[in-house]
Structure 1
Amino acid sequence: MAQDNPATESISPDASEDFLAADELDALRAERDELRDRFMRALADAENSRKRADRDRREAEQYGSTRLARDLLPVYDNLTRALDAASDETRTQASALIEGVELTLRELTNVMTKHGVTPISPAAGDQFDPQMHQAMFEAPVPGTKAGQIIQVMTQGFLLHDRLLRPAQVGVSSTPG
């Protein structure tokens, strides 16, 4: 009599189909997970690109006029020097001319301020700040401490929060 051996029994066709279906299901799940991961990464990249483009756009709006502003600073300096050079006698004799130069300088200042250009105006006795000032010379001056500003040669300017041009100053080298 032949005994039934479970090891020699063949697998029923339904069981093999279930086994293949489980493998296919696992493969599909793995593919789904991979596609979901790729989708999420692409979504994150797109969001990062959008944020970067937005930041670049804001920066271009705010600082795009840097070259023009730098080119206008010598005009400001020359108008200021012209007014500083005018003596009281000249002011009396050419009052209309002086008034015109003052109005032009005031208008230039207003336009620069409107576009975010603000002056850095150190005064004698202020402490030298290498972030905002450029030392043009050092000199020992009695009654001052080392690192104090002793003379302002030209104003500096900021464009919003960025340094456009440092203020040019003379600094005391007298030990305090």
Structure 2
Amino acid sequence: MNDTLTPHDLSDLPLEEVSGDALAADPLAVESLDGSDEDPRVAVLTAERDEYRDRFMRALADAENARKRAEKDRREAENYGGSKLARDLLPVYDALTRAIEAADRSVAPELVEGVELTLRELQNVFGRHGIKVIAPAVGDRFDPLQHEAMFEAPVPGTRAGDIIQVMANGFMLHDRLLRAAQVGVSSLPASN
């Protein structure tokens, strides 16, 4: 037998034919002398297989997470992508509402009806795109998540935190606040 075997050559020989010097050159062959009957190549392949399985499972999890993130981003873009345009249309809604409130129906009933139809169509468009009006009423409780306090004033017959005036309606885009309703709030302490 040749005394100058390489580790590659050791893999082809039965374990009984490998000399001590050759075993020292191949750490895998040395590991097999610990008394186990397992071929060192099997242990190496098993470890390699486990590493590849782990890498595969991580790559699969990363791909699934990326898919979920992309789906979430797509839904958010669909639901909230037009929020800038929606914010820009809110003053149009306010102007149409003020025009109807200030109009004298006896002078130009057709004009008032046309403005009402335009406002109704704008409300329909808002509804189709998930925009809801926040319309607080005088006497409602102030909600800092939906209302913006423009001023506080003591008003007899009210409790602190009651809405005493509504200056502008607010708007929600699905579950996000587009614009808070602008209100005046009572500052009187609660009566005993």
Normalised-by-shorter TM-score class: 0.7 to 0.9
Q: Secondary structure at the match of 1:146?
A: coil
Residue matched to 1:78: 95
- CA offsets 1:44-80 (integer angstroms, 9 cap, x no match): 0000100110111011111111011100000000000
Residue in structure 1 matching 2:113, options 82, 85, 99: 99
**Equivalent of 2:179, from 165, 169, 173?**
165
Aligned partner (choices 29, 35, 41) of residue 58 of structure 2: 41
**1:139-174 CA distance string (max 9 Å, x none):** 000000000000000000000111110000000001
5 Å-filtered alignment, 1:112-151, equals: 112-151=126-165
Separation of aligned partners in 2, 1:98 and 1:15: 102
Report the identity percentage: 67
Cα distance change of structure 1 residues 56 and 24 upon mapping to structure 2, 3 Å threshold: same
Greater relative contact order structure (CA < 8 Å, 6+ sep) = 1
Find 1:59's aligned residue among 60, 73, 76: 76
Cα distance in structure 2, aligned partners of 1:67 and 1:57: 17
Partner of 2:14: 14
How far off its partner does 1:22 sit? 1.5
Paired residue secondary structure (1:93): coil
Tell me, in whole angstroms, the C-alpha distance in 1 between the residues paired with 2:52 and 2:87: 51
- Structure 1 unaligned segments of length 5 or more: list them: 1-12
Provide the secondary structure at the position in 2 that maps to 1:164. Answer: strand
Instruction: List per-residue Cα deviations over 1:5-49 (Å, max 9, x = no partner).
Output: xxxxxxxx6334798481222111111100100000000000010
Q: Partners of 1:118 and 1:72 in 2: how far apart?
A: 13
> What amino acid is the match of 1:102?
E
Counting matched residue pairs gives: 161
Distance 2:16 2:116 in 1: 97
Q: In the superposition, relative to structure 1, how do residues 17 and 158 fare at CA in structure 2: closer, same or farther (>3 Å)?
A: farther
Could you tell me which amino acid in structure 2 is paired with residue 15 of structure 1? L
Change (3 A) 1:110 1:23: same
Partner residue in 1 for 2:6: none
Q: Which amino acid aligns with 2:97?
A: T
CA distance in 1, matches of 2:45, 2:76: 46
Aligned to 2:25: none
The amino acid of 1:150's aligned partner reads I
Report the aligned-residue RMSD: 1.6
Query: 1:42–1:16: structure 2 CA closer, same or farther, 3 Å change rule?
Result: farther
Counterpart position of 2:48:
31
